[in-house]
Chain A
Amino acid sequence: MLKLKTKLSLFNLLSKIIFTALFLALMPFLIQRINLRQVDNDLIQKREQVIELISEIGIEPFISSDSSSSFGSYNILKEEFISLEKINITEDLNYIDVTPRLLDEEETDYRVLNYSLIVDGQKYLLEVGRSLDSILRTEKNIKRLMLIFLVSIILITFFADLQYTRVVLLPLDKIRNKLKQISDPSLFEKTPVKTSTSDFVLLDKALIELMDHINILFQKEKEITVNISHELMTPVSVLRSKLENILLEKELDPVVEKKTEESLTTLHRLQSLVSSLLMIARIESHQYLREDTFSLKDLLTEIISEISPVADDAGIRVLTDINDDLTVTRANKSLIFSLFFNIVNNAIKNTPREGEIRIKGKSTNKGLILSIEDTGKGLSDLQKKMLFERFRMKDPASSDGTGIGLAIAKSIADFHDIKISVSSEPGKGTIFSFVFSENS
């Protein structure tokens, strides 16, 4: 798996390398041709200069009419020469070829321009030559320059590409982060990502629309849950008042009285279930406000004072170690109360006599952390996994619970961006940890 920008950059690099390789393969041939043409042009130019010189000063300075029949001039390194000699052929000569020359017992190849000219009725052969060695040297120099140029171009453009793709793809990263951060479609950031790339604008728009759509569906589903629960409450109300009226009748047969109370208890369970579902639906559809600020220690103290009679009765010690300065902001106090009450109450129910419950709160760089630890029977891995699922964790030890308390706790925590983690060792105890996110 590679990142898009890596892929693009790699492709760019690869295409450049292939292009360069092709170029390099063709280069000797090209350079040779260009170079030869250049050399030939040089030779022709020199020829013209010689002809001009002859026409100005005559042929005598080069070849006196009697003494010698030829003139030759080499430069010091024998890279170039010009020669002039009398010839006796009728046809005109004008061509360039490669011929070996013997110089100081050493044969050297020259590229030679042969040209015949007539001065004062005498035909001369003018040869202008350049050694192949010097031509090849030039060729080599050109090649080296080209190579350096190409490599630097590739490197520069590669890094420029890399930087550019990074900048161009930045909005994509932003969109990805937007998706990554949210746990619920309603939380998707609706302000479009700033970009001049229309594809990203479209993608972002499509995502926002999709989230809106999902959100509407979710909202509808939650509304249905709210409505159903509401509707269920009415018959429960009717039944409840009927049963309570029966119970209030004077001279009631004790058997009827007991049966009625049992029916009421069952009805209470139904009521509690429905209201729990209603509560979860309301929390999930954000119908509660988050505008309370309070001290975590005070809240836990309140919870403990509520629950201490039950803890004392069960012979369980509740110990607290909570920093004074822990403040919870942007929260719904009664929901948070309910959350921790639930967890502490659960801990008491699941801890045998003489057990302990330790509540610790501190501030860390990750945010506020509250942990509630019991010395109870602990949880198996399976139990841990299903802990927060609705109706799964029906504890046989408590007859009153509906198995939904922890699901409520979870939805309250989610609502407040509180992360719950559970660690447990069967037979030793369980620790619930709550990490408050920075903004809660």
Chain B
Amino acid sequence: MNVLIVEDEKSLAREIEKFLRSENFLCDLAFTGTEASEKIAINLYDFVLLDLGLPDYDGLDLITEARKLNSEASFIIITARGDVQDKVKGLDLGADDYIAKPFALIELLSRINAVARRKFRVNTNNISLGDFEMQLQSRKLMNNDHEVDLTKKEYDLLQYLALNRGKVLTRHQLYEHIWGNILDDQYDSNFIDVHIKNLRKKLNLHSPTPWLETVRGVGYRISSEEQD
């Protein structure tokens, strides 16, 4: 998939690019609004990651322009933390999602994937985790036709790990994903540990869960399918 990264902070743009390339995206960079405007007019992108804090352009105008050009690109807005008005305006103009700086690259990826799943109706296959099967559409975890009773938070946590299979997610990344920004100041590594503990307890009543790994000192990971 084709992504245009519109970000005036060059080193940040390059890190995003590096990360998305490793996830097999095709990336293009624009450091100014003018540059972005030209690139959107010429090229076809699936996604535009748009930082609203551009020095030469009101980022929201780019969305309007793209819509006029009948561009199919999905916009994900990158806002400064707490700029609620920008977020609302952006979503009103037809942006698909927004993410506040500083964000986790993994979180960015999962937002892109979520938009992609909605847009192309792909990737909605169920995910198998050992003896369990995660049904993304109905948000259910099944074990041999029995539904495992999970709380919303537990399911979200498991799905986030499953969608980022093979990658280690730090507690903070998980916390941010589940609880968002409003409780940022309340970050407590214990929260994630407790939820994982409860999750393991519930799943182990049905089947063992060797695939849900604790990476010491780092975080948690669901091992890649090959290693199952």
- Interfacial residues, chain A to chain B (CB-CB below 8 A): 230, 233-234, 236-238, 240-242, 244-245, 247-248, 257-258, 261-262, 264-265, 268, 271-272, 275-276, 278-279, 282, 287-288, 306, 309-310, 313, 334, 337-338, 341-342, 345, 398, 400-402, 404-405, 408
Encode B170-191 as 1/0 by CB contact (under 8 A) with A. 1010000001011111111111
A258 x B218 contact (CB < 8 A): yes
B187 x A241 contact (CB < 8 A): no
The 5 sampled A-B contact pairs (Cβ below 8 Å) are A233-B81, A237-B102, A238-B9, A264-B172, A265-B170
B218 x A240 contact (CB < 8 A): no
A310 x B194 contact (CB < 8 A): yes
Q: Which of B16, B170, B185, B188 contacts A408 (CB 8 A)?
A: B185
CB neighbours of A238 from chain B (8 A): 9, 11-12, 15
Query: How many residue pairs bridge A and B at CB < 8 Å?
Result: 121
Q: In the complex, A92→B188 CA distance in Å?
A: 126
Q: Which of B16, B184, B189, B191 contacts A241 (CB 8 A)?
A: B16
A313 x B194 contact (CB < 8 A): yes
| Chain B residues numbered 56-95 whose CB sits less than 8 Å from any CB in chain A | 80-82, 84
A341 x B11 contact (CB < 8 A): no
CB neighbours of B189 from chain A (8 A): 400
A241 x B105 contact (CB < 8 A): yes
Known: A240-B102, A245-B105, A338-B182. A268 touches B81 (CB 8 A): no
B183 x A338 contact (CB < 8 A): yes
Q: In the complex, A262→B216 CA distance in Å?
A: 12
B80 x A306 contact (CB < 8 A): no
Q: In the complex, A234→B102 CA distance in Å?
A: 7
B146 at the interface (CB under 8 A from A): no
User: A241, A245, A261, A313 — which one has the most chain B CB atoms within 10 A of its CB?
Assistant: A241
B187 x A245 contact (CB < 8 A): no
Q: In the complex, A234→B10 CA distance in Å?
A: 11
B139 at the interface (CB under 8 A from A): no
CB neighbours of B106 from chain A (8 A): 244
Instruction: Tell me the nearest residue of chain A to B171, going by C-beta.
Output: A265
Known: A244-B104, A258-B217. A400 touches B187 (CB 8 A): yes
Q: In the complex, A88→B168 CA distance in Å?
A: 150
Known: A245-B105, A258-B217, A309-B194. A404 touches B185 (CB 8 A): yes
Instruction: Tell me the nearest residue of chain B to A247, going by C-beta.
Output: B168
Encode B27-54 as 1/0 by CB contact (under 8 A) with A. 0000000000000000000000000000
Instruction: Tell me the nearest residue of chain B to A407, going by C-beta.
Output: B185
CB neighbours of B22 from chain A (8 A): 248
Q: In the complex, A356→B110 CA distance in Å?
A: 39
A242 x B15 contact (CB < 8 A): yes
CB neighbours of A230 from chain B (8 A): 80-81
